[in-house]
Amino acid sequence: MAETLQSGAVRTPQLVRAAQVAREAEVRQSANGVAFATYGETGVDAPDLDRMLETVPAAIVAALKSNTYYFVPLALRENPETGESTETDAKASTPTNEPTMVAGEYTDAFSDAAICHRNVELGSGNRGVFISTRLLGDRFALSFEFFINVAHAFVDQAGVPASFADLVWKQALDNVRGETSLDAWESRNLAFGRPANAEPEPLASLSRRGPGLVTKPRSFSGASSNAPATPATINEKERGLYIDSAFSDAVALYLLSLALDFDYSELREREYPLLAPAALAARLRLVADLFPPNQGYEFAVRYRRRA
């Protein structure tokens, strides 16, 4: 572990183990019950942090009891002093011995070795989620990073409501354009036996029998358009991963919409097409019904007309 060195006006920035931060930082609770702590020069104003934390509805907070969220300048994916990764090697039989490190302030060297967040098991079933505030750069990015972590933790504990799973799967069968993340997009394709990065064909080319009744799985490039829509054509593992990802994304986007106003197009990435706005609105409204906003927060979907 790096030590703080004093030599006149020159000071070497300090690295500490995440476990030490967890032991020494003061853990507090937001007004709605989220356990959190701050460490070092985070660059986040207290009112903005409170606003973000207090966004999470009580029903979701109840599933986060084993998580404490540590807002730190930088959580490192590797130790700059050794070059060794703090990640667990998924191909190895045992995890690497290099501990997760935290920088108490921003430097370019530490930034190069940093990652958006690191999960650290703290013992007795407790987990620390270390979020790099200085790597994320602005309120939008920090909020979304926090909310997607909250959403994944909630799904791990509580699962996906049947009503949401039904809605999302119907949208997939209806070949609704795009998705809310690369994970959801790839899992959705793989669930139908298509290449992970397949592109959908126009809706007009797809067959139906009666209103809303699908007689063929939606045809994507590289996939057969004649395969019957039977359970045998569905990869159930990927279907489950798709629904989990779609729900996590929807919860995170819903919380983001409560915390601040944002343009949906800001979420666009090159690797996959963004979900059609009307389909996203249907998902978010269902999430809002399941987890009504806390007092002082408002949920609204507004469409912008094309010029």
| 27-79 per-position pLDDT tens digit | 999 999 999 999 999 999 999 999 999 999 999 999 999 999 999 999 997 65
Q: Is the pTM of this model over 0.85?
A: no
Long-range contacts of 269-273 (CB under 8 A, 24+ apart): 269/182, 271/182, 271/185, 271/197, 272/178, 272/179, 272/181, 272/182, 272/185, 272/186, 272/197, 273/177, 273/178, 273/179, 273/185, 273/199
* Residue closest to 255 by CA, chosen among 14, 64, 13, 44: 64
Q: In Å, how far from its chain's centre is CA 78? A: 22
190-211 burial, b at 16+ Cβ within 10 Å, e below that, comes to bbbbbeeebebeeeeebeeeee
Cα distances from 289 to residues 87, 161, 285, in angstroms, run 38, 12, 6
Reported as a pLDDT band with limits 50, 70 and 90, residue 138 is confident
Cα distances from 302 to residues 277, 280, 305, in angstroms, run 10, 12, 10
The per-residue pLDDT for 248 is 97
Helical ranges in 33-138 per DSSP H: 46-53, 58-61, 108-112, 133-136
Reported as a pLDDT band with limits 50, 70 and 90, residue 118 is very high
> Under 8 Å CB-to-CB from 40, ≥6 apart: which residues?
72, 73, 102, 103, 104, 105
Q: What is the mean pLDDT of residues 153-162?
A: 95
Q: Which amino acid is at 12?
A: T
- Does residue 222 come out as left (phi exceeding 0), alpha (psi in the -120 to 50 range) or beta? left
Q: Are 32 and 65 in contact (CB under 8 A)?
A: no
Q: What percent of the chain has pLDDT over 90?
A: 59
Interval 79-109: pLDDT, tens = 555 555 554 433 333 344 468 899 999 988 8
Q: Are 114 and 74 in contact (CB under 8 A)?
A: yes
Q: Are 81 and 12 in contact (CB under 8 A)?
A: no
Q: What is the mean pLDDT of residues 142-150?
A: 96
Q: Are 73 and 106 in contact (CB under 8 A)?
A: yes
